[in-house]
Amino acid sequence: KRHRFWETQPVGQFRDLGDPTVTEGPIEPPIPLSDVKPDPYTLPASYDWSTCDISDDAVATEVYNLLTANYVEDDENMFRFNYSREFLRWALRPPAYFTAWHIGVRVKSSKKLVAFITGVPARIRVRNDVVGMAEINFLCVHKKLRSKRLAPVMIKEVTRRVHLENMWQAAYTAGVVLPTPITTTQYWHRSLNPKKLIEVGFSRLGPRMTMSRTIKLYKLPDSVITPGFRKMELRDVPAVTRLLQGYLAQFVVAPDFDDADVEHWLLPREDVVESYVVECPQTHELTDFCSFYTLPSSILSNQNYSVLKAAYSYYNVATKTPLLQLMNDALIVAKQKEYDVFNALDVMHNGKFLKELKFGPGDGQLHYYLYNYRLQHPLKPSDLGLVLL
């Protein structure tokens, strides 16, 4: 397939795969900051760049409205991600974030926001290399402006602004195959409210299954079963950081979280991110951790429902509690909080609990990419310890 834009970029090319002469690591070296293009790329006439300060309520609302109407839909165009404003504020303002990396495109005359792309800084370890990277996300072009080749110039502009901060690598995901995935993950869904999921067309009644049999199949206990299972609190940050660092060390690609990162990314925020610890009742040590983020989807055409409340598995560490039991407790709290479905990728050790906890495979894949960093060959999803929002 032709990738006119991506063939011009420092990304692993399909032709490199399996070539023993290609070394792992950065593809192009950094350049002197004085050599980075000092001014923005040229947009098509009648459009302007517009840095979006997501802290400003009016701007957050414009970004929310653009994504709500124009962001990613499932393959059958029945659902569209509906990130909340609070979620976007959380996702875009981690420690050391740059407002300049929250990039909008506006119509010169009307000032209407018609496209968006973002980066946030992250320290990502690749094998034994800790690399300062940009995590790129929320690339969105208004439906009416598609195939105007806006995306390539927006990707070049966010890359230029990342270079100005002396960062030369990036990480991103996509539902489409581009040159060249570092791994391809499969997504899985665990029904929590099967009646609604079938009603809105997210799931189908299994063969030889009745609705009441299906409801019974997915029934969960009313309360968690692990002693000491409780919400994470600020005082838990150092212990959770230690748990996560110990756990993520086994993966080829994973975030290098410090306390400030853990405080931002994993402290519970209502309707944004939920996280739980297991505190040993005897010793009071924290032995396990689980978390999921809240990403509803608009239901594009159903008489009775307009929103699908979905939880997405985030980071989970089981050192004493069996992972199966820990994740079953995560399902139980998600059901208590009236989520309709619990989603997970087959990354990290997730593959160990998906089938057992009655997840079903989704109908799509999520591909992970690194920019300006080559791996000798693609990873298994279980080698990946990075979850992007």
Ligand X SMILES: COc1cccc(CC(=N)NC(=O)c2cccnc2OC2CCNCC2)c1
Q: Which residues bind ligand X (CB under 6 A)?
A: 72-74, 79-81, 173, 175, 187, 295, 297, 308, 312, 343, 345, 364, 366, 388
Distance CA 198, CA 212 (A): 12
- State in angstroms the smallest separation of the CB of 337 from ligand X: 18
Q: Which is nearer to ligand X, 246 or 364 (CB)?
A: 364
- State in angstroms the smallest separation of the CB of 36 from ligand X: 28
Q: What are phi and psi for residue 100, nearest 5 degrees?
A: -60, -15
Q: Which is nearer to ligand X, 286 or 386 (CB)?
A: 386
Pairing outcome for strands 297-299 and 317-318: unpaired
Distance CA 389, CA 171 (A): 12
- State in angstroms the smallest separation of the CB of 202 from ligand X: 6
Q: Which two tokens stand for residue 249?
A: 């060390």
- State in angstroms the smallest separation of the CB of 47 from ligand X: 25
Q: Which is nearer to ligand X, 197 or 248 (CB)?
A: 197
Q: Which is nearer to ligand X, 241 or 275 (CB)?
A: 275
Q: Which two tokens stand for residue 140?
A: 């969105």
- End-to-end Cα, the chain, rounded Å: 28
Q: Which is nearer to ligand X, 9 or 294 (CB)?
A: 294
- State in angstroms the smallest separation of the CB of 108 from ligand X: 30
Residue 67: active-site member = no
**Where are the extended beta strands (E) located within the chain?**
47-51, 79-81, 102-107, 113-126, 129-141, 169-174, 183-191, 229-231, 253-255, 273-279, 286-294, 297-299, 307-308, 310-313, 317-318, 341-345, 360-371
Distance CA 279, CA 164 (A): 44
Q: Which two tokens stand for residue 344?
A: 């997970």
Pairing outcome for strands 113-126 and 310-313: unpaired
Burial annotation 336-365 (CB, 10 A radius, 16+ → b, else e): eeebbbbbbbbbbbbbbbbeebbbeebeeb
Q: Which two tokens stand for residue 287?
A: 């032995």
- State in angstroms the smallest separation of the CB of 295 from ligand X: 6
Q: Which is nearer to ligand X, 229 or 353 (CB)?
A: 353
Pairing outcome for strands 47-51 and 102-107: antiparallel
Q: Which is nearer to ligand X, 251 or 312 (CB)?
A: 312
- State in angstroms the smallest separation of the CB of 313 from ligand X: 7
- State in angstroms the smallest separation of the CB of 344 from ligand X: 7
Q: Which is nearer to ligand X, 22 or 151 (CB)?
A: 151
Distance CA 103, CA 116 (A): 6
CA-nearest of 14, 9, 23 to 367 is 14
> Which residue of the set 66, 366, 384, 389 is catalytic?
389
Q: Which amino acid is at 322?
A: P
CA-nearest of 151, 69, 169, 168 to 112 is 69
- Active-site positions? 389
